Structure 1
C-alpha cells in the first residue's frame, strides 16, 4: 500500500478537522486537496526528492503526503543543525527541493539547492495543477538520518510498505471516537513525528501540533483542544509532571499518554501514574529502522506493575512491554545462538514494518529477514521485553562487561537522585572506569560515598561507580537520548569536574 492511500481513505470524512497548528486549522478534505496541489508543485520544480527544514505543524503531514503523491522521497531534517551540517546531508539526496520555515531562511540560503519557503509552498499548493500518483509499495517513501552522535549519520530508507504496515498493523481505520484529538510535540525529523502524522490521521483523530515544546503551553493545549492522547519524550514528561506538581491543572479529556524515545526513570513513571490516575500510560519502544513502535507496555500493564506486591511483576514497569502485531523478536548471543528467558543478548526483530535498509549501504537484514538493533535486551518468562541500552554503551572495566543501565536503575532509586547516566571513561590501568553523572534532587547535595554504598547494597562490588560527579542536567538530544559520548569526552578532559 502507498502512503498516499492513507490520506485518501481518511478523506472519506472530508469535513472532519484534521490538523490544528497555531492559527491554522485544516479539514481532512482540505489537507487532501493541498496534498494533490503540493504534489503538483514538487513535480513542476523537477525535484528528485523533498527536504524539509522547519518545526512541523501543518507542513509535516502536508509534505509527507504531497511527496508521496508526487512519487518522491521525503526527508525532514534537524532544524537545529548548522548550515554546514545540513549541506552535508542534503548533498546525499537526489535533486532536492528544500521547503523551509521562514525562521530558517538564513540557514538554508547558501545550500545551493532549489528552495521554497513554507508559506509560499502552501500558497502554491492551493492553486497548482494537482498530481496524484500511487507509487509502488516497495519504493522509498521517507529517508531519515540517524543522529550521528558517534559516527557519520546513516540515511535510513523506509518504504511505503514499511510505513503502511506499521500503521495498519497497529491502528484500526477510523477507530477514533468523535472528538478525539492527539497532541503532537515530537520533532518532525524523528520517526515518531512521521508515524504520528500517519497513524492519527488513519485512526481519525484531530492532530494538534505544538511546534515548540513548553510544558505550560502543552498543558494549556491539552485542556483547550480537549486532547485525548499525546506522545512525549522523557524530558518532556519530566517537565510536564513538574509543572503539574507546581500548578495542578485538571486534564479531564486526556485518556492516553505515551512516552518513548529513550529510557524513562522509574521514579518519574511512578510519580506520573500517581499524579494522573485517570490517564492510561503507554511506553512505546521502536527505532527509525523499524518504522516506529515495535513493542508496547500498555495502560493495564502499567497499573498492574505499579500496584503489584510481587517483585517480578513490579519489575515489568521498567520493561517496554510486548511486541506489537506483526513483529517477531529474538535475543541472540554474540555467536548468533537464540537465547532463552532472562538471558541477556542483542535484540533482533523481524516484520513487514522493519526496513533495516540504508542509502549507500543497502540492507543489513540477515538471510532470514532479521534486523540487528544493537540494543542489549532480554525477555522475561512471559514475553515482556527489557532494554538494557545500546551495545556501544557497554563499559569494559578490567575485562568485565558492564551495562550502564543496571547501575543507573539502582542509582535513580536513591531519594537524592533525580536523574543519572553512567559512562565509561578511558583509564590506563582498567581500560575504562565507570563514572556516574548524577543530577541531584533540587536543593540537595548528595554524598558521593553514600551513592556508591547504595549501589553496593544491590549489585556486586565491580558494579560500583569509580567516580560520582554532579551536573545540573544531562546533555540530551531533542528526543531525550543522553549524549553519552559527549559526557565521556568531557570527563576525560583535564578540566573535567572531579
Structure 2
C-alpha cells in the first residue's frame, strides 16, 4: 500500500529523535524561530508539508532559465521518494545524511524520503565541505559535485551516494574510484521531483546485489515507472504519471539505448552549428576540464563564414590561455575567441549562470 503524504513513518527519526506527525509542527516552528539559516529553510518546508494543502511550491535554481516557482503535488513527492527507496533498497530504520540546502527540491526530498520511508536522518549544515560523523555508517546520502570533491576521502562509511545539481567532471570520477561508497550520478530537474534516472560512476568491478546491472558508465538508467522517448530534436521526453500528469519535454539531447536507458550529450539550446557541424559545448568542456587550471565554460557567437563558432569563457582577470590545452579537440571544437570574466555569475546554489555571465561581457 502506498503511504499518504499526511502520514509519517513510525521509524522516522530526525537527528536521533523520533517524531509523530503532530510533533513535527512544533519542531518546524522551533527551527524557524530559533534555528540557523539552513534550519529555518527546513522549518519552512516542514510547515508547508504539514499544512492542509495537497501541494507545495518549489523554486527552481535558474541555471537553465529564469528562476520560477513550480507547484508540486505532495503525493507525487511521495511516489518519488518510494521510487528512490525501491531502487536503492532502502528500508525503515536505515540511516541517511542530509547536507543539501532545503530551499531547493533536492534538499526537500531528503526530508520527504526520511518521513515516508522511515529513515533515521542526520542533518548537517549544507556547506561546500559538510561536517558529519565520518565514523558513522550511513545507508544513503545526496551531495552536489563540489561537496563530494571535498569530502570524498571521508565517505567510505556511506553505502550509496547520489550526486547531482551539476555535471560530474572526469577528474572527480577518477578521484572516487578508490572509495568504498557506491556513487551514482543523477539526471533530473525540479519538474521531475529530482532524479528520474541514475548511472553508476565508480566501483564498476564491484557487483553489489542490487546494482550489478549498472556497469555501463555512459548510460543513465531510469527509476521504476518512468517512460522515455525522443522528439524531433532528439531531446528527451519523460512520461512519469506518478510524478506529473503531463509529459515533460526537455531540452536535453540524448541517445536512447533501450526503453530504460539513455546517454546524455548536452543542452539543445547550447548546441553550436559551426559550418554545418553540430557541436555540444558540454562534450568539449569534458575534454578540457582536466587541462584547465581555472573555471571555464564553452559557448558560441555568430561568425560570418561558419555561421557560429566556439568561444571559451574563463574565470580570470586575463583572457590568455595556454594553447597546449587544445590538442585533442577537432578543428571546429578549438575556440575561435577567448573571453575572461573576473567572477562568474552564479545561482544561489552555486551553478554557473552562463547566459547572464555572457551578457556581462557586453
Please indicate the TM-score interval, normalised by the length of the shorter structure. Answer: 0.7 to 0.9
- Distance, in Å, in 2 between the alignment partners of 1:422 and 1:306 is 35
Which sections of structure 1, spanning at least 5 residues, go unmatched?
A: 42-49, 73-138, 245-249, 308-312, 335-344, 357-364, 494-498
The answer to whether the 8 Å contact 2:41/2:102 transfers is no
Greater share of residues in helix = 1
Equivalent of residue 182 in structure 1, options 93, 96, 101: 96
Tell me how far 1:252 sits from its aligned partner: 5.0
Tell me how far 1:391 sits from its aligned partner: 2.0
- Distance, in Å, in 1 between the alignment partners of 2:329 and 2:214 is 20
- Distance, in Å, in 2 between the alignment partners of 1:407 and 1:251 is 30
- Distance, in Å, in 1 between the alignment partners of 2:14 and 2:29 is 21
Residue 28 (1) aligns with residue 19 (2): yes
Q: Secondary structure at the match of 1:222?
A: coil
Normalised by the size of structure 1, how large is the TM-score? 0.60
Which sections of structure 2, spanning at least 5 residues, go unmatched?
A: 208-212
Residue 455 (1) aligns with residue 329 (2): yes
Residue 292 (1) aligns with residue 207 (2): no
1:2-45 superposed Cα distances (whole Å, 9 cap, x missing partner): 4222x1xx1x23xx6x223xxxx64233xx2333558999xxxx
Change (3 A) 1:382 1:2: closer
Normalised by the size of structure 2, how large is the TM-score? 0.80
Q: Once superposed, what is the RMSD of the aligned Cα atoms?
A: 3.8
The answer to whether the 8 Å contact 2:227/2:260 transfers is no
The answer to whether the 8 Å contact 1:270/1:306 transfers is no
Equivalent of residue 3 in structure 1, options 2, 5, 18: 5
Tell me how far 1:424 sits from its aligned partner: 1.7
Alignment of 1:49-448 (within 5 A): 55-57=37-39, 60=42, 62-72=43-53, 139=54, 141-148=55-62, 151-172=65-86, 175-176=90-91, 178=93, 180-215=94-129, 218=130, 220-223=131-134, 225-241=136-152, 244=153, 251-274=155-178, 276=179, 278-298=180-200, 302-304=202-204, 316-319=216-219, 321-334=220-233, 345-355=234-244, 365=246, 370-380=247-257, 383-398=260-275, 400-414=277-291, 420-427=296-303, 430-437=306-313, 447-448=322-323
Tell me how far 1:485 sits from its aligned partner: 1.1
Tell me how far 1:207 sits from its aligned partner: 1.7
**Count of aligned positions:** 348
- Which structure 1 residue ranges, 4+ long, deviate > 6 Å from structure 2? 38-41, 470-473
Partner of 2:210: none
Q: Secondary structure at the match of 1:453?
A: coil
1:272-318 superposed Cα distances (whole Å, 9 cap, x missing partner): 122x1x111111211100111100114xx6322899xxxxx999434
- Distance, in Å, in 2 between the alignment partners of 1:271 and 1:4 is 42
